[in-house]
Structure 1
Amino acid sequence: MAKPLRILHCFRSPIGGIFRHVRDLAEEHSKAGHEVGILCDSMTGGDYEEELFDDISPFLSLGLTRIPIARSAGLADAATLWSGYKTIKNLRPDVLHGHGAKGGVLARVIGSALRVNRYRVARVYTAHGGSLHFSRSSLAGLLVHWSERRLERLTDALIFICNFERQAYEKKIGVPTIRSQLIYNGIGERDFRPIPTRSDSVHFIYVGMLRDLKGPDLFVDAFARTERRVGRPLSALMIGDGPDREKYETMMVERGLGRRIGMLPAMRIDEAFAMSRNIVVPSRAESMPYIVLEALAASKAVIATRVGGIPEALGRTSAGLAEPDDADDLARVMAESITEPGWQERAMPQVKAIQSVFSATVMARDVLKLYNEILGFPVDI
């Protein structure tokens, strides 16, 4: 029988897809008899995230550790590494799994420091887009990609959550010199259920972080263009929190859309999905966003930009895909979704097809198998 493992997940921001990914792994691995913990930033998140921590706490036998982790690289990182090292050393994990750029640095640097002291620990890294979103032509991108290459020396395995992420890594950083594996993001069985739309629903919703990378400004612009295309007023909601909220509020007021696009704070996904049949994902960059998988599992229509791994979920020729950073093309798809009869049935993949590929059970099983193989333990899981 496989040995129970002590697994610690390190990441910066307890918001969005990375947080969802870690929660799913923690729950699945805890139920399989392993001890799991989380180390993340103490300065990010609000009431909604606290509710999510409450949900996952029964599965965190190694506890929840929150320390200040700055978003940008700087001198504060030295204090973060030292604080993280002391905490992690006391927890004595078998596996340090870093998620995102900052989480990847913490897990790999601290894991390597523990190894210097002859402590055996597996060092695993999943980028979740992160550093791969940087341009190769920018100075910041060159530094970040150079750092990622150097950090391979401190890594036992890379996990890619979609083919796009693997290809982006090979293009921007290079073919991995260490073990790497594709393990798709997955969602649980409870996510695969239709969510009825409320009687007071709106035509479109945006759900996610309020920052330019995710495209809320494109959503506002495309909404206005969609109204012009269909020749009538429409309704929408933007649901989420983030650093650019006031900017988008101002943008809506200046365009006279303040009464037709509402704004609500982050909430549970089933509550958000009940507010519309159409989920718009206007991102400028993505890896494999959970919002797309969750919406498809809930039998919603997804209108998204052709970025990251989204075409791997929707289908590369899906009518739900718009060109990136193109509000007019996004508006074209939005208009088609509410004017063409049977559009959703034609444009969206079958729920069973999504369930067969993007399963949390399969994801957790394959990740656990990788942990055990790195450590040289039996893999009869």
Structure 2
Amino acid sequence: MKILQVINNLDVGGAETLLSAYALNSRENTSVILTLVSSDSWIKSELENAGVKVIDLALHDKYRFFGAIRGIVNVTLSEKPDIVHAHLFPPQYYLAFLRLFFRKISFVFSEHSTNNRRRGILLLKPLEALSYRIYDRVIVISEAARKELCRLYPGQNCTIVYGGADEKRFSGPRNEEFDFILVASLRGKEKGVDVFLEALSMIKDRGYTAVVLGDGVMKNELIELRDRLGLKKTVDFKGNVGNVGEYLRKARVFVLPSRWEGLPVSIMEAMFAGTAVVASRTGGVPEVVPENDCALLFEPEDSEELAKALVRVLDDNELRLRLAENARKRAGLLFTLSAFTSRLDSFYREIKRTRK
């Protein structure tokens, strides 16, 4: 089958990483990736170098409704996909609208989180609910995301498809050089990077060092916060890098202080790298790393609880090693790239079968 994957761009992020991983590794289906705006990332380069077709509408911004609709229609007509798969917002709305006109093609949407700002806007609530119901099927990436979607929109037809990570890219010899690493898109406040910095400021007398990987519009603001908190010499913002696995294997602890989550791929990557995990107790996180068995968890936005967890996991070598090893074994059982690809292949097969 041919799958037309529609996403905002191919900047570095969880949804983009999962989409790329599937397109590169499925032997059953062919993905054509349509982006609304241009990107210049290692994800895009890797896809194009592997021969995956990437079509860029090169819009001025992702909210150009008429330009996006016109471009998606033209590509859909020329590529003739069996399934059109929308990721993130606003493709969620664009493809829901176009579903009304392409009745012979299956349209699906992936919900990558348990929350979004639109659900709190009164005028958008009816449109939000309708956008989900129009799709033939909605993918959710965790049980937490499924429960939240069904709570908001009872009767919603959705399927859980757990993500995965390329174990070969992240596994390998460890060479610990610094204490903490945080890998996240810096495009908004949902990843809680500010919470991490506040926690570090509470324990800065201990001399811990940290690296933040990722980029986005919040980066400069977060760097300014780091400097105000007196952490300039201990927290290094590296931006986007292609060798995330190498950095993960150099860190003693992976930290993800998200305010909300779907099912973070970055935690799976840390698990394969053998890096102990400290993360917020939100969304699908407890599904990936059961508390006190594979990770230490804390309440979202509680920087004081996070600070205590960071000290605990570094001071207790036995605990840190046990958490990392348990997480590594769990990742090998549930979150390999082949397991994820197989789950999504099976989902597409079911869509095609029920369409006939």
TM-score, length basis structure 1: 0.84
Please list the CA deviations of residues 190-222 of structure 1 after superposition, one character each: whole Å capped at 9, or x if unmatched: 246235125xx2211222122321111111111
1:312 alignment counterpart: 287
From 81, 86, 108, the counterpart of 1:98: 86
Q: CA deviation at 1:144?
A: 4.3
Work out the CA distance in 2 between the residues paired with 1:256 and 1:189. Answer: 36
Would the aligned equivalents of 1:36 and 1:59 in 2 still touch at CA under 8 Å?
A: no
175 and 69 in structure 1: CA distance in 2 versus 1, 3 angstrom threshold: farther
Over 3 Å counting, the alpha-carbon distance change for 1:62 and 1:365 in structure 2 is same
Post-superposition offset of 1:316: 3.7
Offset of 1:41 from its aligned partner? 3.1
Confirm or deny: 8 A CA contact 2:118 2:125 kept in the other structure. Answer: no
- Is 1:124 the equivalent of 2:104? no
Alignment of 1:19 with 2:16, yes or no, is yes
Summarize the alignment of residues 330-345 of structure 1 with structure 2, pairs less than 5 Å apart.
Answer: 330-345=306-321
Which of 230, 234, 240 pairs up with 1:266?
240
Q: How much has 1:225 moved relative to structure 2?
A: 1.2
- Output one character per residue of 1:254-295: Cα deviation in whole Å (capped at 9) or x when no partner: 222211212211112123214412111111111101110000
Asked if structure 1 preserves the Cα contact closer than 8 Å seen for 2:170 and 2:270, the reply is no
**What is the aligned partner in structure 1 of residue 221 from structure 2?**
247
CA–CA distance in structure 1, aligned partners of residues 53 and 229 of structure 2: 50
How far apart are the structure 2 equivalents of 1:378 and 1:361? 26
Q: Is the CA contact (8 Å cut-off) linking 2:35 and 2:54 kept in structure 1?
A: no
User: 1:190-201 to 2 correspondence within 5 Å?
Assistant: 190-191=168-169, 193-198=171-176, 201=177
Structure 1 unaligned segments of length 5 or more: list them: none
- The 8 Å contact of residues 4 and 34 in structure 2, kept in 1 or not, is answered as yes
Taking only the aligned residue pairs, the percentage that are identical comes to 21
Return closer, same or farther for 1:167/1:66 CA change in 2, 3 Å cut-off. same
2:257 matched residue in structure 1: 282
Matched, 1:186 2:164: yes
Going from structure 1 to structure 2, the CA distance change for 1:246 and 1:378 (only over 3 Å counts) comes to closer
Residue 207 of structure 1 pairs with residue 183 of structure 2: yes
CA 1:144–1:286: 2 relative to 1, 3 Å: farther
Aligned residue number for residue 41 of structure 1: 36
Counterpart in the other structure of 1:7: 3
From 365, 369, 373, the equivalent of 2:342 is 365
Residue deviations 1:323-376 (CA, integer Å, cap 9, x gap)? 110110110110111111312233343422222222332322232222233223
- Residue 256 in structure 1 maps to residue 269 in structure 2: no
SS in 2 for 1:369: helix
**Residues 238, 264 of structure 1: 8 Å contact kept:** yes
Hey, what does 1:151 align to over in structure 2? 131
By how many angstroms is 1:164 displaced?
0.8
Structure 1 contact 67–80 (Cα < 8 Å) conserved: no
Question: Helix, strand or coil for the counterpart of 2:178?
Answer: coil
Give the SS at the match of 2:107: strand
Deviates more, 1:365-374 or 1:254-263: 365-374
Write the distance in 1 (CA, Å) between the matches of 2:317 and 2:249.
21
1-structure distance, mates of 2:179, 2:82? 48
Q: State the 1:187 CA deviation.
A: 1.9
How far 1:102 moved relative to its partner?
Answer: 2.0
Whether contact under 8 Å (1:145, 1:172) holds in the other structure is no
Query: Partner of 1:324 in structure 2?
Result: 300
Per the TM alignment, residue 166 of structure 1 is displaced from its structure 2 partner at its CA by 0.3
**8 Å CA contact 1:162, 1:183 repeated in 2:** yes
Residue 82 of structure 1 and its aligned partner are, at CA, apart by 1.6
Counterpart Cα distance in 2 of 1:287 and 1:206: 17
Q: Distance in 1 between matches of 2:173 and 2:118?
A: 38
The alignment yields a C-alpha RMSD, in angstroms, of: 2.4
The 1-side partners of 2:323 and 2:113 are apart by 26
For residues 276 and 153 of structure 1, what CA distance do their matches in structure 2 show? 43
Q: Aligned equivalents of 2:83 and 2:314: distance in 1?
A: 48
Describe the superposition over 1:294-329 as per-residue Cα deviations: whole angstroms up to 9, x where unpaired.
000111111111111111111044551111101101
1:224 shift after superposition: 1.2
Counterpart check, 1:107 vs 2:107: no
Q: Give the alignment's TM-score, normalised by structure 2.
A: 0.90
Distance 1:148 1:175 in 2: 15
8 A Cα contact 1:237 1:264, kept in partner: yes
Q: Comparing 360-369 with 54-63, which one deviates more in the overlay?
A: 54-63
Q: SS of the residue aligned with 1:159?
A: strand
1:167 corresponds in structure 2 to: 147
Equivalent pair of 2:86/2:108 in contact (CA under 8 Å): yes
Matched residue type, 2:71: S
Aligned length: 351
Sort the Cα spacing of 1:187 and 1:255 in 2 relative to 1 into closer, same or farther, 3 A: closer
Residue 162 to residue 278, structure 1, CA distance change in 2 (3 Å) = same
SS at match of 2:241: coil
